[in-house]
């Protein structure tokens, strides 16, 4: 049994020192420290890591952090929702989002042409610029070929971007597939529909991509899942691991609770009942705002991986694969 110890501040305290102290505080701090250790274990064990997140996290300042993790070789497979990919493209072309307030009058915002995501604001103009851009991109894709699996299309779009902080750019550059099972669930999907009306032979194949994610890992691979938030992205990742023997490692971070019976609130122990993670797996479930919990756990894990020389090995693997430019 680990004893409770009082937290003490010291000047210039590192994030890793703070997270180390969480082991002795109690409640969710213990689970957050455990989540960091599970991430370290999955990387040291060379597990194939599925990183999933929902679009609101790309709206926030986590977007560049996700891109950095792809560049560092932390994630082998990305599963996400379409809003985040739209906003990744917007930010890659210079769009800026603003931090507002949860209490701002929404009717007033609507009259000003401002959309609210929690306490973050996005102007209608940003979406209008995105629509003009995506129309040009779809024409380029159509000229190249008519039939695309979703992940193949997203890789091609990533190659068209020029932004080191872009998730799509880093994924394409480092040969990390991005899966978006609900590609039509946003402005992107609306424009896919409009484009197909004018070009009936243009097809984006969701079913083919479902096969691609199922074959993203094999029964023999060791598998790890880092699921940030819930939704379809989390479910597709763990469904893939289920059909390939279950994950050896799983970290869930969410504000949802298991009492809802939803996928978003299902914890890592519930996943064991389905065989999505193995009975003897290393797991942690952190209940809390991912914009706070994930950077703490991940930076602690990166520090430990760097100190053990694991990060250099991951970057060398990317270079040796001949994919990195």
Contact 286, 19 (CB under 8 A): no
Phi, psi (rounded to 5 degrees) for 246: 95, 155
276 catalytically annotated: yes
Q: Which position among 276, 278, 316, 325 bears the catalytic label?
A: 276
Pairing of strands 48-53, 178-179: unpaired
Torsion of CA 153, 156, 162, 165, to 10 degrees: 50
The SS3 of residue 222 is coil
Torsion of CA 185, 107, 63, 41, to 10 degrees: -80
Which residues make beta-bridge pairs with 253?
228, 286
Tell me the torsion sign for CA atoms 67, 227, 82, 91: negative
How many Cα atoms are found within 13 Å in the side-chain-facing hemisphere of 180?
26
Q: Which residues are catalytic?
A: 276
């Amino acid at each position: 049994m680990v004893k409770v110890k009082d937290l003490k501040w010291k000047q210039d305290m590192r994030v890793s020192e703070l997270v180390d102290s969480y082991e002795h505080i109690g409640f969710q701090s213990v689970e957050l420290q455990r989540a960091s250790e599970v991430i370290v274990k999955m990387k040291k064990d060379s597990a194939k890591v599925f990183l999933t997140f929902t679009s609101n996290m790309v709206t926030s300042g986590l977007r560049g952090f996700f891109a950095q993790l792809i560049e560092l070789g932390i994630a082998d497979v990305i599963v996400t929702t379409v809003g985040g990919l739209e906003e990744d493209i917007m930010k890659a072309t210079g769009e800026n989002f603003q931090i507002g307030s949860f209490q701002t009058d929404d009717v007033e915002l609507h009259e000003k042409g401002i959309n609210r995501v929690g306490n973050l604001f996005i102007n209608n103009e940003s979406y209008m610029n995105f629509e003009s851009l995506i129309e040009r991109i779809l024409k380029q894709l159509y000229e190249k070929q008519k039939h695309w699996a979703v992940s193949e299309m997203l890789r091609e779009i990533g190659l068209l971007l020029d932004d080191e902080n872009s998730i799509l750019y880093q994924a394409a550059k480092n040969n990390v597939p991005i899966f978006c099972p609900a590609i039509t669930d946003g402005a992107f999907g609306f424009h896919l529909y409009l484009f197909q009306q004018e070009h009936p032979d243009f097809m984006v194949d969701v079913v083919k991509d479902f096969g691609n994610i199922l074959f993203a890992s094999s029964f023999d691979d060791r598998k790890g899942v880092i699921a940030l938030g819930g939704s379809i992205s989390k479910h597709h990742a763990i469904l893939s691991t289920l059909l390939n023997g279950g994950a050896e490692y799983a970290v869930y971070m969410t504000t949802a609770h298991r009492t809802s019976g939803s996928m978003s609130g299902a914890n890592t122990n519930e996943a064991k009942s389905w065989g999505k993670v193995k009975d003897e797996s290393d797991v942690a479930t952190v209940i809390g705002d991912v914009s706070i919990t994930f950077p703490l756990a991940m930076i602690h894990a990166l520090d430990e991986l760097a100190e053990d020389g694991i990060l250099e090995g991951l970057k060398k693997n990317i270079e040796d694969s001949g994919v990195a430019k």
